Amino acid sequence: MSLTRKTAAELGALIASGEVSAVEVTQAHLDRVAEVDPRVNAFLHVAAESALEQARSVDARRAAGEELGPLAGVPIAHKDVFTTKDMPTTAGSKILEGYRPPYDATVTARLREAGLVILGKTNLDEFAMGSSTENSAYGPTRNPWDLDRIPGGSSGGSSAAVASYQAPLSTGTDTGGSIRQPAAVTGIVGMKPTYGGSSRYGLIAFASSLDTPGPFARNVLDAALLHEAFSGHDVMDSTSIHEEVPPVVEAARRGDVAGLRVGVVKEFGGEGYQPGVINRFREAVDLLESLGAKVVEVSCPSFTYALPAYYLIAPSEASSNLARFDGMRYGLRVGDDGTRSAEEVMALTRAAGFGPEVKRRIMLGTYALSSGYYDAYYGSAQKVRTLIARDFEAAFHQVDVLVSPTTPTTAFPIGERADDPMAMYLADLCTIPANLAGNAAISVPCGLAEEDGLPVGLQIMAPVLGDDRCYRVGAAVEKAFEDRWGGPLLKEAPSL
């Protein structure tokens, strides 16, 4: 079997045992990137030289008898929203074209420490704002299942890279669903850890109180291994949780649900959901029941207000977070002809450097924070946030995990919702509550929708710091489905 078809855990074991070298593994993936990425456009930057160098260093350490971690030498695709001092960092925006930061994000540094080989930086919706990766200034990424469809977003480059075997692992960030939704629509696993469980230092901020780095992989165990590799307390991030990383790898290995109480969120599913998505979701729930879980319906009435609350909170924070991109200290500068004022140059730079969705959200956020509107919009949204946390709290008194479809539809065609923001925003309907309350949540594949033959995701939500439960239930579902399907869902994808 080709090296690019293996799981991260398998590759790590092969490298550790010396059966294959990290350089061979890296080269195989670089070859795959060269072969398919011209069609997929998952990468904004491929760092072949530094990847091979990192691989050689892993091989040298092994040769010297050093004990390597489980992912040493394993290639990874890194979302281009994390700073990397040896590669450009653009956040998918023209305003940062060619920008090279002088420091590594904490996640980047921890990937390097774990011996992971960074193949390059992946495409994303500009500043992680979007659900399709169409908002990238560098062209859309395509879904490996159907190149005319979106790979989800904002971490669409990362989901597509893993789903098209360009890398066994990738990083993402999830602000309203930007890991789970792309994972769902590309038929892979994507996890949003508990907020503060993974460091935001060096993650170019979209919405500070929501942004969460997390892993993509083709199976639950690989996701857990990556989760463990880059998570944990960071003194550079004030909102980082000072606790042990939950035992995610152990949970992924365990993978059973006998006696577990599973709640089906009553508010999710109904009008606006694709029938194939609902059908696959119901089958997944039945499967859980057949595996010994106790399934009950749970009502979380405030969840229906999550989407509007999110589209006030996230743009508000973004309008402030993105103010620093003004052409004064780094990045693009437009219109500085010696006569214009700093104010004019800032406005011209930002108008030229930001795409339409970013401008839309900056203005929306500016509006929501304006004097006279603050209470009605931003203030009310913060109250909804409290209500959602209360709904979760009440629900987790009754059940151990909550489940829902990850996203209401399968991957939609590129261009379909491009200039219809409201339609685009609906993609995050089910994923947003976990961001607002800081909970852990994962998406695992649960089959193909009968209408279009495209992947559907099952979302499993756990309490704050209950990340291990997501992996435990996810692994159980994965195992049962793979038994039924005779392998991973991804084997159904057309070969590229």
Q: How far apart are CA 280 and CA 285, in angstroms?
A: 9
Q: How far apart are CA 389 and CA 395, in angstroms?
A: 10
CB of 326 to other proteins, least distance (A): 6
SS3 401: strand
Q: Cβ(74)–Cβ(167) under 8 Å?
A: no
- Stated length of the chain: 496
327-335 long-range contacts (CB < 8 A, ≥24 apart) are 327/95, 327/353, 330/96, 330/99, 331/95, 331/96, 331/97, 331/99, 332/94, 332/95, 332/96, 332/97
Nearest to other proteins of 104, 478 (CB atom): 104
Peptide bond into 154 cis (omega under 30): yes
Q: Cβ(407)–Cβ(156) under 8 Å?
A: no
CB of 249 to other proteins, least distance (A): 23
CB of 158 to other proteins, least distance (A): 17
Nearest to other proteins of 317, 428 (CB atom): 317
Q: How far apart are CA 374 and CA 370, in angstroms?
A: 6
Residue in this structure with the two tokens 């930007």, named with its chain if needed: 178
Q: How far apart are CA 137 and CA 28, in angstroms?
A: 29
CB of 230 to other proteins, least distance (A): 15
Nearest to other proteins of 291, 464 (CB atom): 464
CB of 431 to other proteins, least distance (A): 14
Closest by alpha carbon to 89, among 395, 331, 443, 431?
331
Nearest to other proteins of 105, 475 (CB atom): 105
Parallel, antiparallel, or unpaired for β 401-405 and 261-265? parallel
Query: Which of the residues are catalytic?
Result: 79, 154, 178
The pair of three-digit structure tokens given for residue 480, joined into one six-digit string: 């049962």
CB of 412 to other proteins, least distance (A): 19
CB of 149 to other proteins, least distance (A): 24
DSSP bridge partners of 315: none
DSSP 63-87: HTTPPPPTTTT-EEEEETTB--TTS
Nearest to other proteins of 332, 476 (CB atom): 332
The pair of three-digit structure tokens given for residue 450, joined into one six-digit string: 């009968």
CB half-sphere exposure, 493, CA atoms < 13 A: 24
Nearest to other proteins of 73, 193 (CB atom): 193
Nearest to other proteins of 230, 481 (CB atom): 230
